[in-house]
Structure 1
Amino acid sequence: MIISAFKNWNNHSVTFMPSWRDRLLDANRILNALAASTEGEFIQLGEKLQEFYFRTRGLSDLSSEVAGCLSGEELKQNMEGLQAVFAQVQEQDELSGKGVSVLSSLLCRFEAIATQLGRFDQTIRNLRVLCNFIRIESSRLGDRDTGFTALGEDVRKLAGNVTEKSAELMNHSENLAEMIRQGLKRMTDFEKKQQGHARLILDQAVQNLSAMTQRHQSSSETLGEIATRWKRISQSIGEVVASMQFHDITRQRLEHVRDALGDVGEKLGPEVSAKADKNSSGPWRLFQKRAGNGSDGITGLSDAIVPCQVQSVQLKDADTDMLSAVGRIIENLKRIGSEITVMAGEMRSLAGAGSQKEESFLSDLEKKFSLLAGALASYGEINREWSASMERVTASARDMTLYIREIDRIGIQMRMIALNAGIHAAHLGQEGAALGILAESISRLSNETSRKIDEISGTLRAVMDEAGSFALHRTSPDGRNRSG
């Protein structure tokens, strides 16, 4: 501008030369205001950048913490614990199905016992028939009764004892069989409902665990990505801070230009009063005319041209550097914003919160585990029912064993009676022939009774073994019942 004005100077009278000193003072005031105003703006920008840095650092730390929760040792232990729970549920499911089979088998065994006890009716009838034969034979012999009366009384007592004990056994067997039927029906209905529910929950939980495993792998990768992104963010913030230093450099340049122009203005001499053109504006104010005394002549202007050219180059360089720095600041801020957006998206995806309608993955997993805990509690109820049923079965089987032993003793008594009767018949000779036949019949009944007792005893032992084995499988290795 100064150079252009100098070129036009030859076309104007010295009297109407513009006051270059005034114009330089105006330029200095503009530079002063520019340096002061931008300094405040850049201080505010620095404060915002510092706040942004700490907030970004907090977001990065929080993201790392969340990703760490989904990829750390604690989650690994929880996943192992969940797998153990799933194994327990599957085992309980299998045991429950086996429990139904065991109860069904026990019911069949008690029905077999009832059938075996029913055969004692024939033994009792045979004993009563023998008792009648003995009475008839005793009446025939009259005063020559040689032990028939005592034998008849013994046989009658045997028949009564067998009737009593077999009836008690039958009553126990029928009651226990009915208890098993009712328990079996209740358990079957309950398990059909519960197992279907538990299997559904288990299948869903297994799917979630599989998804959780994938999330574990994904979150491990996300941790690395977050660390990488934070490094890039820190690098971008560092570049912004470095670029902001150009403001201080530019301010120093502006101050240098201002001082240089001030020196040039001093060389141009004092201001001469003149009436300025009030309608002029913009750069043409530099060409306002005034009356001069010749101090703003050719010599002063030639001395001002070179410094003005130098400061013009300085301003252009400062302008270029400042624009480049601002461009880098804007570019780095955009890059930081993009990194933060991607990081937030990764964390939303990691937590399963991609949209408002999408339910959180962790919340869904928590609900499934809550339902699974309810299923385990229900299995505990089933286990307690099984335990109570097995205890009743084994207790009743022990009671029945006592009755079996009493019947076994009756059988032994029958053999003793038969043996004594046979010996007595041998002593009587021909008159004891009938007594010998009766003794053989009693001996056959004794053997038959022993065989029936052995069958029932074997069935009861099988009942107790099966019930005990199932109860043992229902108990964990450390001795605690699996009922919860």
Structure 2
Amino acid sequence: MMLMSPPNGNPQIDPTKISPRRLKQTLAKIFQGGLSAGRFHFFAANRLLKLNDRISLLRESIAQTAKGYEPHFLGLGRELQSIYSDANTLTKQTIQTAGQINDDSADSPLPRLREQIQISLNGLKECQNGIINNLSNLEEQGQQISVLSRTSQELEKIALFLKVTAVNVGIEATRSEEAIQMFSLTAGEIGALGKKIITVSDNIERDTTAAAKVQNTIHHEISLKQLAFQGYGLDAEATVKKAVGNIELLVRNAMTAMEQTAGYAKSIAAQTGEIVVGIQFHDNMSQRLEHVVETLEEIETSFTSASKPEQTERIITAHSLFTLQATQLRQVINEIDQVYRQNAVAFENIKQEIEQIALVLRSLCDPTPDREDRDSSTSPFAHLKTSLDHLINLLSQGQKITNEIEQGVEQAASTSKRLLTYMDLINATAFEIKVQALNAIIKAAHLGEKGNTLVVLAHEMNNLSDTTDRFVSEVSQVYRAMAAQTELGSMGDTSDQNQLRGSNLKSAITDIEAISALLDTTAQNATAQATALTDAIIKTSDSMTFLSEMSDRLGGNLAEAEAIIAQLAEWCHGVNTTTMDGAMAKVADRYTMDQERLVHHRLTSAESSSAQDQGIDAATDEVLWFDEDGSTSDPISEEITPYKEADNIVLFDNVQDTSPAEATGNGEDLTADVLFFAPPGPPEENIIAENGENQTEEEDLGTNVELF
């Protein structure tokens, strides 16, 4: 044993130079009467004072840790707020952009485009029906022209009869002077009418022949164009079907995008809530660590203020309270680790959701963004624009054919109208024949018997006039039918309507292109925003390493606390709850969190069951400063999972049963093998009394040393 000389010259034990083995031997001598109680008190006091210094350092370290990481939690909250705000903006922008496609109002581009496409297709069908009707009308006009071509032969017969009548009138007029005066001019006028009819007949023959050729040519050309137009119509129907399909695809994609984005937004909000709960854990943790610090401070005070008779109870109290605070500290560390893991997972989930939101917009612009062989034509907008351009081209081709048909119809109509003018001439000629016939009858009557032949000729002229009237009446019906067919054959305002349809389609295409451009721009911006958000999330997630650092520091504090518990455990064992009720109740009164109460409940429950299992007499009056083999043990080895129903902050999911046996989540009973309180040993005065008669002058070096 190392001795040192105090100022009065008496040698004393140097406690810093003595080994545990030597200390046990020394204590054995005390119980055997070999050492004085004063020297023992000097040694114990030094050990307790050093232990008190360790407790003070531990308390300060825990307090600094709890306070020092507060700015990190605040910074994490600010960064999370910024991330959530940006993610919310990106989500709203995505839904609004997709909503422009999914808008089913009459003024929105896609429904309006669908309507214009259908109108254009109906217009093409109307044009096609108009062409078919024109062909039918041209065929009927051709038949009517054939009828008119035969009228020239009838007119030639009438003209021939007139000429013969004119000759006979001229001959008969020579039979008397009076007849010559009356009929010489009449014969010439009748002959002129015959020539006039022949001229009209020749013109009708010429024009009907030309009209027939024109009709045949136009009919043939329109027939060919009608076949081409029919092909355009079929192509247009397929194009319209494809275009409408693309529109429906865009609408479905937009609806899906909105639903997916809403789901991602909900998930982001949920994940953000998880992180917010983790940040709020700081307040919970700070209060609990503050309670640990307060308890350690009370232990320090008890070591420096208690009187000698209270030493045994003081050590037992310190051991019990330290065991409780170590368990509380271990619980806090476990929850810090759990918060770190949960927040890391939540940040990773938010990052993935944001990447998915950006992908939603890109998929609207290009459904196969990852294909190596993709091109711009894979976009539904590109497909739609291609279909619409093709439809406009078909409308243009149909318009061209329609214009050509209109020109042919107008040409046929002009021919028919020119033929109608001949009927007016024939009708006027018939009237003149009627006048000449009536005049001839009147004049012949003045001649008496000399004019009998002229009377007969005059009646023949009258009959010929009637024949001409009937002929003109019959032929006029044909001409009127031709005129009606000509009017029916007109395409009307189809040209203007087609131009309007094409213009409306182009306007709708412009709107679609604007939406496509907006989608492209928004998708690019969303990608950039998502990239920036992802970088911010990674940076923020990486910054959460302070939780691991905090856990490590508190882990070091826990190791020191367990070492102090082991030191105190060397000085006591057993259970004596009667001395601990007040101290434990005082600690329990400051609890503000359910986690603290749960830990306390488990340990206080373990105290009674441990005492019964070990059969320890609570009234024992023996103090053992060391175990027989010098070993120490950690009385609390089990971990308690975070209590899931905090006072006012819900950190984790609720549990169905919070009974002490199941709060750990694995159903283990934490009371097993837990030594919670140590019994008081015999008072030091008894030790001194039992060994007083064996004291020597050399051993009485520390009788004047007091522990406190």
Pairwise same-fold verdict (TM > 0.5):
yes
- Structure 1 CA distance, aligned partners of 2:172 and 2:476? 41
Describe the shift of the 1:123–1:176 C-alpha distance in structure 2 as closer, same or farther (beyond 3 A): closer
Partner of 2:84: 53
Describe the shift of the 1:141–1:368 C-alpha distance in structure 2 as closer, same or farther (beyond 3 A): closer
Q: What CA deviation, in whole Å up to 9, does each residue of 1:413-439 have, x standing for no partner?
A: 122233333444555566655545544
Q: What CA deviation, in whole Å up to 9, does each residue of 1:283-325 have, x standing for no partner?
A: xxxxxxxxxxxxxx99998786455434322220101222332
**CA shift for structure 1 position 164:** 2.4
Partner of 2:335: 321
- Structure 1 CA distance, aligned partners of 2:366 and 2:440? 93
Partner of 1:274: none
Letter in 2 for 1:60: T
- TM-score of the pair, normalised by structure 2: 0.52
- Structure 2 CA distance, aligned partners of 1:322 and 1:37? 15
Asked if the contact 1:205/1:365 (under 8 Å) is kept, the reply is no
The DSSP-based 3-state class of the residue aligned with 2:102 is: coil
Alignment of 1:57-456 (within 5 A): 57-74=88-105, 77-78=108-109, 79-80=111-112, 82-106=114-138, 108-110=140-142, 112-125=144-157, 127-128=159-160, 131-132=163-164, 135=167, 138=170, 144=176, 146=179, 149-209=184-244, 212-213=247-248, 216=251, 219=254, 223=258, 226-227=261-262, 229-247=264-282, 249-250=284-285, 305-306=319-320, 308-333=322-347, 335-337=349-351, 339-340=353-354, 353-356=367-370, 357=374, 359-385=378-404, 387-389=406-408, 394=413, 396-425=415-444, 432=451, 434-456=453-475
| 1:11 equivalent among 6, 21, 35 | 21
- Structure 2 CA distance, aligned partners of 1:35 and 1:242? 18
Describe the shift of the 1:402–1:391 C-alpha distance in structure 2 as closer, same or farther (beyond 3 A): same
**CA shift for structure 1 position 408:** 0.7
Asked if the contact 1:411/1:446 (under 8 Å) is kept, the reply is yes
Q: What CA deviation, in whole Å up to 9, does each residue of 1:383-421 have, x standing for no partner?
A: 544555555555554444333212111111122233333
- Structure 2 CA distance, aligned partners of 1:182 and 1:35? 102
Describe the shift of the 1:135–1:168 C-alpha distance in structure 2 as closer, same or farther (beyond 3 A): closer
**CA shift for structure 1 position 339:** 4.9
- Structure 2 CA distance, aligned partners of 1:173 and 1:480? 33
- Structure 1 CA distance, aligned partners of 2:74 and 2:97? 35
Asked if the contact 1:20/1:265 (under 8 Å) is kept, the reply is no
Asked if the contact 1:408/1:453 (under 8 Å) is kept, the reply is yes
Q: What CA deviation, in whole Å up to 9, does each residue of 1:159-207 have, x standing for no partner?
A: 2211223333444445555445444444444443344234323333234
Letter in 2 for 1:105: N
Describe the shift of the 1:33–1:456 C-alpha distance in structure 2 as closer, same or farther (beyond 3 A): farther
Q: Which protein is richer in helix relative to its size?
A: 1
Letter in 2 for 1:375: L
Describe the shift of the 1:262–1:354 C-alpha distance in structure 2 as closer, same or farther (beyond 3 A): farther
Describe the shift of the 1:251–1:184 C-alpha distance in structure 2 as closer, same or farther (beyond 3 A): farther
Structure 2 unaligned regions, length at least 5 = 1-17, 24-42, 305-310, 501-708
| 2:487 equivalent among 468, 476, 484 | 468
Structure 1 unaligned regions, length at least 5 = 1-7, 270-296
Describe the shift of the 1:54–1:192 C-alpha distance in structure 2 as closer, same or farther (beyond 3 A): farther
Letter in 2 for 1:121: Q
Asked if the contact 2:121/2:240 (under 8 Å) is kept, the reply is no
Letter in 2 for 1:153: G
- Structure 1 CA distance, aligned partners of 2:483 and 2:472? 16
Describe the shift of the 1:156–1:241 C-alpha distance in structure 2 as closer, same or farther (beyond 3 A): same
Asked if the contact 2:149/2:204 (under 8 Å) is kept, the reply is yes
The DSSP-based 3-state class of the residue aligned with 2:273 is: helix
- Structure 1 CA distance, aligned partners of 2:456 and 2:264? 109
Letter in 2 for 1:52: I
Describe the shift of the 1:138–1:156 C-alpha distance in structure 2 as closer, same or farther (beyond 3 A): closer
Stretch deviating more after TM superposition (404-413 or 372-381): 372-381
Letter in 1 for 2:199: E
- Structure 2 CA distance, aligned partners of 1:143 and 1:434? 11
The sequence identity of aligned pairs, in percent, is 19
Describe the shift of the 1:221–1:359 C-alpha distance in structure 2 as closer, same or farther (beyond 3 A): closer
Aligned-pair RMSD on alpha carbons?
A: 4.6
